[in-house]
Amino acid sequence: MEKDFAGLLHKNQLKITGPRLGVLQVIAQSDAAITQPALEKIMGADVDRVTLYRILKTFEEKGILHKVIDLNGTANYAICSPRCTVHEHHDEHFHFNCINCKKVYCLDDVPLQSIKIPEGFTAKDINLVISGLCDKCNAEKQPKMPEHQTAGV
């Protein structure tokens, strides 16, 4: 993942501003995709709602962030793959939406077979969402499970 956020903004002909850098930092540090309301909470007074909305929209257009619609229809934002460019996203990977913590993860490492669509159709966007329990929620559930084994086995 690109860590030089100022360089990334420069490369996309975007002025380097505090809120823009802040948004990138927050999203890059997060282990999951993040919604606008969550971003608002984290950034607090650093950015107002309208500015944040514009930043997300611009970043999406520039191929810096991609949007994932979760099971509730809420948009979550995640850092794009380096192959993404203006108006040309290449984030063809599965997304995982946890039904417990509601987090959306990018599953970049899960191989995706090429999908053949019928002749005459043109694919513009692909939306692959798996729902279930994430590793953290599964781990939390573990101690509550009935124990079948005696200690010391």
Q: Which is nearer to Zn ion, 46 or 67 (CB)?
A: 67
Nearer to Zn ion, 42 or 128 (CB): 128
**Between vectors from CA 133 to CA 124 and to CA 35, what angle results, nearest 5°?**
50
Distance of CA 104 to the CA centre of its chain: 6
Please, which residue, 69 or 137, has the CB nearer to Zn ion?
137
Closer residue to Zn ion, CB minimum distance, 27 or 80: 80
Least CB distance to Zn ion at residue 93 (A): 6
Give the Cα separation of 10 and 7 in Å (integer): 5
Site residues (vs Zn ion, CB under 5 A): 66, 78, 80, 84, 89, 91, 98, 100-101, 106, 134, 137
Least CB distance to Zn ion at residue 11 (A):
14
CB of 81 to Zn ion, least distance (A): 6
